[in-house]
Amino acid sequence: MSFIFSPNDMIDSFILMNLTLKGPLHGYAIASIFEEKFDWKPSLTTIYNILKKMELAGIVSATEKIESGRVQKLYSITDKGKDFFEEHKKKMKKRMRETFSQFFTLFQDVEKLERPEEAQISTDKIKDTLNLLRKNSMLVMVLMRKSPEKVQKILKNSLTSLMELAQKENVPIPFENNSVS
């Protein structure tokens, strides 16, 4: 199976991102963040093996702290780790663009085979729609820090409108829970 990104790269990036955003963390906290975000909790052995690998590479540093009578290692991202993470983000973005470009080229070819006269119109509409989604996503991420309740209300209203349109057009809703919340 070919991945857009290897699972290991994704886990490494997620760990580095959280160390950057949240500051020093211990392995259990990192595993808990995975569970919270993805409903999946990697084993502590996996997390600590990755952290040890990163520590040996100089990407993270560890400090020991006594908490509740136990020694815990807190991991922090180093300057080298920040540089590594920035480079990795650039590579991930580039790979995503390439993958989506390949997908749309394939989609366009299929459309040409099925309905050559509609292919370009369909492709342009998809590109425009994806551009709108990208802009919406970027704006949502920025506004969530300032006004999360208002953003959620707008998104719920938008989803409600789309679900009503899907129902009107007899289009199946492609997710299990058909409620807005």
Query: For 90-102, what is the mean pLDDT?
Result: 75
145 pLDDT more than 90: no
148 pLDDT more than 70: yes
Say what the pTM is: 0.53
Per CATH, the architecture of 7-80 is what?
Orthogonal Bundle (1.10)
- Report the share of the chain in percent with pLDDT over 70: 78
* Nearest partner of 138 among 127, 130, 126, judged by Cα: 130
78 pLDDT more than 70: yes
Q: What is the pLDDT of residues 3-40, one digit of tens each?
A: 344 556 677 888 888 888 899 999 999 999 988 887 77
Q: Which residue has the tokens 């993270």?
A: 60
Q: What is residue 53's three-state secondary structure?
A: helix
Query: For 152-159, what is the mean pLDDT?
Result: 89
Q: What whole-number distance in Å separates Cα of residue 134 and Cα of residue 129? A: 9
Lowest mean pLDDT among 34-38, 86-90, 115-119: 115-119
* Nearest partner of 36 among 54, 55, 22, judged by Cα: 22
- Report the share of the chain in percent with pLDDT over 90: 25
- The residues spanned by each domain of the chain are 7-80, 147-181
